[in-house]
Amino acid sequence: MKKSLIIIAVTLFLASCGEKQPQVTPTPNEKPKKTVAVPQFNADSAYQYVARQTEFGPRVPETQAHADCAAWLTAQLDQFADTVIVQDFRTRLFNGKGVDGQNLVGVFNPQAKKRIVLCAHWDSRPYADHDPEAANTRKPIDGANDGASGVGVLLECARQFKLQPLPDNLGVDIVFFDLEDYGPHQEEAEKYYDDRVNFWALGSQHWSKTPHVYGYKAYFGILLDMVGGANPNFPKEYYSQGYAAWVSNKVWRRAADLGYRAQFTNELGTMISDDHIPMNEIAGIPTIDIIDLHPESSNECFPEVWHTLNDNLENIDKTTLGMVGDVLLHVVYEE
């Protein structure tokens, strides 16, 4: 995820990992928050959903672990959602190889016209190409944070939607994107670079062109990516603020109200090429990316475990999962 494009983008824009980002002024005159009953997010439950995904092993497309996890995720969504849609698709990797993928969609209140889409990617990186040990760089990763954490938070949200149904006039679609993280190995990134083609976020590109419902529209979308690490830093991601500032301002304001101002920092983060880009550019849905970014990191602004074998369950923090889930539930139920 978030790939070599970040390096190219930093050379094209003034925002960079190492520079102090400017303060972002919240949108004034937002509507007062509604007084509604918001269910309590269960961080222990979210953690167990993350753990179960990693038990399958690396969820690399066209492997048994990937197929087994897809079946399990579909079964979990089926317990909670009104409708579950498995979107099979075939696409091409950076090297021209054809590959099969599956986007998984849980639909809540399908009759409601006003809809929010919540999403994360469920596949894991086939290469630990940022691992400090050279012998590990061609091995697949568990992707506990990079993929499974966002899915775990959204599964717990789905469970809460079942326990405390959403208002009749509001629908939510939870989408788990496949083939987000199958871009070229960093050693080959330059060889395959083509500014006309995005070799990452393949599942969200497919869904954005052919959503699970013909003519699908949503009021806004929220993407979760790497939301399980300890001591997170969630700035307002650069493209999110450009495409959907009113959404990120809404979410960050609610996070601050809930006591998470230190983690949801009111700063402009660097630009990240992620699943929200095709959602904004192709589907036309104003979508933001909640993603852990560290300007001081030695690993391209990402957590130190990013795209390494250390992206495992040992580095998942329940407090962070609970914080992100709490914000999401409040944003949804108070809409």
Q: Across the chain, what does the average pLDDT equal?
A: 92
CB-based contact 285:220 (threshold 8 Å): yes
Question: pTM of the prediction?
Answer: 0.91
What digits encode the pLDDT tens for the residues 128-143?
999 999 999 999 999 9
Average pLDDT over residues 74-87: 98
Average pLDDT over residues 247-260: 98
Average pLDDT over residues 148-167: 98
pLDDT at residue 253 is higher than 90 = yes
Task: Look at residue 194 in the predicted model and tell me its pLDDT.
Answer: 82
Task: Look at residue 25 in the predicted model and tell me its pLDDT.
Answer: 54
What digits encode the pLDDT tens for the residues 100-137?
999 999 999 999 999 999 999 999 999 999 999 999 99
Task: Look at residue 147 in the predicted model and tell me its pLDDT.
Answer: 98
Percentage of the residues of the chain whose pLDDT score is greater than 90: 86
Query: Which pairing describes strands 170-177 and 220-225: parallel, antiparallel, or unpaired?
Result: unpaired
Task: Look at residue 292 in the predicted model and tell me its pLDDT.
Answer: 98
Higher pLDDT, 25 or 262: 262
DSSP H helices in the chain: 5-12, 43-55, 64-80, 149-163, 189-192, 202-209, 238-257, 276-281, 318-333
Is residue 189 very low, low, confident or very high in pLDDT (cuts 50, 70, 90)? confident
pLDDT at residue 22 is higher than 80 = no
pLDDT at residue 33 is higher than 70 = no
pLDDT at residue 203 is higher than 80 = yes
CB-based contact 314:32 (threshold 8 Å): no
Q: What are the domain boundaries of the chain?
A: 5-333
CATH number of 5-333: 3.40.630.10
Range with the lowest mean pLDDT among 15-19, 73-77, 144-148? 15-19
CB-based contact 179:202 (threshold 8 Å): yes
